[in-house]
Amino acid sequence: MTIRPATEADLPLLQDIEVAAGEPFRALGMPEIADDAPPSLPDLARHQQAGLAWVSTTPKGTLAAYLLASRIDAGLHLDQVSVHPAHARRGLGRHLIDHAAAQARTERLPALTLTTFTEVPWNAPYYTRLGFVPVPDPQLTPDLRQIRAREAAAGLDRRPRVAMRREL
């Protein structure tokens, strides 16, 4: 697999990956997550134009996974990491996260952060295996607090969520 910056032509395909990656949530009794709309093309374009959208491709050039990030007060925030189920369990998410970590180190950012579901096996338990640790609510930075508030307003807090951090 190859990691490269996302191109404008990739953006609709990222939406397809997101829809497919949401389907496994249905089996966990989380249909609202499976039915959630993918990121909009303008949102994807904002990440892509900022140089903070990367894709993982197969040897034939098929998009298999993607990562979107944002610079926040705590470091580089992983807004979305999605792997198409047809390409799951091959380390693509981990490789994308390692790529984002290398970018953050280049920019001398102190950490990677993310927010995720605590009880979904491929969410918080997975990120814990990759070196992320929960950030207690009283220790959230202003930007992380704002991200969590946006998620709550969107209804994501109907299921337990947590902010996590990996020092670089």
Q: Which CATH number belongs to the domain containing residue 92 in this structure?
A: 3.40.630.30
DSSP 118: S
Q: How many CB atoms lie within 10 A of CB 139?
A: 12
Residue type, 120: V
Q: Which domain holds residue 75?
A: 2-167
pLDDT tens by residue, 25-38: 999 999 989 999 99
- At residue 74, the pLDDT reads 85
pLDDT tens by residue, 120-161: 989 999 999 999 999 999 999 999 999 999 999 988 887 889
Tell me the C-alpha distance between 82 and 55, whole Å. 10
DSSP 42: H
Q: What backbone phi and psi angles, to 5 degrees, belong to 112?
A: -100, 145
Q: How many domains does the chain have?
A: 1
Q: What pTM was computed for the model?
A: 0.94
